[in-house]
Amino acid sequence: MDVEPFELERWFAEYEHDADVMLAESGVRSLPADRFDTDPGDLGYVIPTAGAPDVRGTIAADYGRSADEVLCTVGTQEANFLAFQSLLSPGDHAVVVTPTYQSLHAVPDSICDVTRVPLDEPGWTLDVDAVAEAVRPETELVVVNNPNNPTGRKHPEDAMRALYEVAADNDAYLLGDEVYRLLAEDPVPPVASMGEYGISTASLSKAYGLAGLRFGWLAGPEEVVSAAERWKDYTTISPSKFGQHVARQVLDGESDDLRSEALAHVRENHEITAGWARDHGLDWPDPVGCNVFLRVPDGFEGSRDFCRTVVEDAGVVLAPGDCFSTGGESYDGYFRLGFGLPTDELREGLARVDDVL
């Protein structure tokens, strides 16, 4: 298997460690571990390795599915990887809506033929007809990330249902990466609740600020879950014991409070960042969640030049839009700013970018 380098992760690897302010994290600020009981008892594998039945059952309820239709994973990243490995083979075809998190097209690309269907600028709207045109008889999978990284665009329910019909009419699955779903005030129904061809992947990383737990899942038809589980025996075997222990506390009791807390935090930071963007004459697309895709200010030769200047001169990490360029689509005119961090750090980071500008 030959897979292209993950541009955004490579960028972070180069700059994140030594920088002062991380203004490119895509999720909400991290919660401290002492908010939870962190003693899971013995540190054996999670048994059964697909996840404890009660945890799978709680997750499944959100999708109107049963515990057997959920597989617990090491983050959304593993859930997506397992779905691609188990559903795609050489000779198949996948359609991926772009721009998006690189693994959603790079991993399928390492297995089979992939057609990328770009969102329509400037509003980043989902073009369901263009997806329908891209679908072929051998298309096994359509992939969409909603709300979208990097644009912060939330595709509405009618568009998502129309997309589901396009996939289902072709006997193909629709995979919705919904890792940002609960950062919307009014989330759209998840893809896995839409019917037999719907698969949802998600985690506790972004909406709760628990990325280090590495706890995610895949929900969908039982045959998809079983096929993914066969691959999982070769990747991580079981999810993390700590991850599941804390996930149970989040999912069983505290999820509403933790989510409200996170949403209030994002609302406050959204206003601050929108004001900052307006002050610099940058169009504000009113994103859902805490990622915004802004135009590179005048005077820079594209997104890498701008982001490199900001990190080298001001110690602030931004994400170059060019990291999302793919298959002839260039996003070099944009940069992604993550405003989910603690509010004082956000203010500090924005002030430092001010100095550069």
- Residues of this chain that interact with ligand PLP (CB under 6 A) are 26, 75-77, 101, 145, 149, 177, 179, 203, 205, 211, 216
Q: Which is nearer to ligand PLP, 179 or 247 (CB)?
A: 179
* Strand pairing report for 113-118 and 21-22: unpaired
Residue 100 C-beta: closest distance to ligand PLP, Å: 6
Residue 203 C-beta: closest distance to ligand PLP, Å: 3
Burial of 314 by CB count in 10 Å (0-12 exposed, 13-18 middle, 19+ buried)? buried
Residue 240 C-beta: closest distance to ligand PLP, Å: 12
* Strand pairing report for 291-295 and 334-338: antiparallel
Residue 171 C-beta: closest distance to ligand PLP, Å: 25
Q: Where are the alpha helices (DSSP H) in the chain?
A: 7-15, 53-61, 75-87, 103-109, 128-134, 157-169, 205-208, 222-232, 241-249, 255-279, 303-314, 343-356
Residue 316 C-beta: closest distance to ligand PLP, Å: 19
Q: Which is nearer to ligand PLP, 149 or 269 (CB)?
A: 149
Q: Which is nearer to ligand PLP, 86 or 205 (CB)?
A: 205
What are phi and psi for residue 98, nearest 5 degrees? -125, 165
Alpha-carbon separation of residue 290 from 170, 184, 270 (angstroms): 34, 10, 7
- Give the rounded distance of the alpha carbon of 59 from its chain centre: 18
Query: Do you find a cis peptide bond into 32, omega within 30 degrees of 0?
Result: no
Q: Which is nearer to ligand PLP, 132 or 207 (CB)?
A: 207
Q: How many CA atoms lie within 13 A of 314 on its CB side?
A: 21
Q: What is the DSSP secondary structure assignment for residue 186, as one 8-state letter?
A: S
State the residue number with the nearest CB to ligand PLP.
75
Neighbours of 27 (CB within 10 A): 26
Q: Which is nearer to ligand PLP, 145 or 269 (CB)?
A: 145
Q: Which is nearer to ligand PLP, 192 or 314 (CB)?
A: 192
Residue 211 C-beta: closest distance to ligand PLP, Å: 5
Q: Which is nearer to ligand PLP, 115 or 145 (CB)?
A: 145
